[in-house]
Amino acid sequence: MRITARADLAASMLSLLDDDRCHRTTVGVITTVDNPTLLQWVRRDALAEK
């Protein structure tokens, strides 16, 4: 499972506004640093205060 940080997604979307190389193409965005494992993600979600 891949998780993309909102900050990474926002930064990539803003950088694409001035980039003509990606006109009419599909762009993939991933976060490569500090991605939690599936177990960490489930544990964090289960222990989160609601």
Listing DSSP states for 27-44 in one string gives ------SSPPPHHHHHHH
Nearest to 11 by CA among 36, 29, 32: 29
Distance between CA 43 and CA 50 in Å, rounded? 14
Whole-model pTM over 0.85: no
Number of helical H runs and strand E runs in the chain: 2, 0
Distance in angstroms (rounded) separating the CA atoms of residues 13 and 22: 11
**Residue in this structure with the two tokens 């909102």, named with its chain if needed:** 6
Q: Tell me the pLDDT tens digit for each residue of 2-50.
A: 678 888 889 989 998 888 888 888 888 887 777 778 788 788 888 887 6
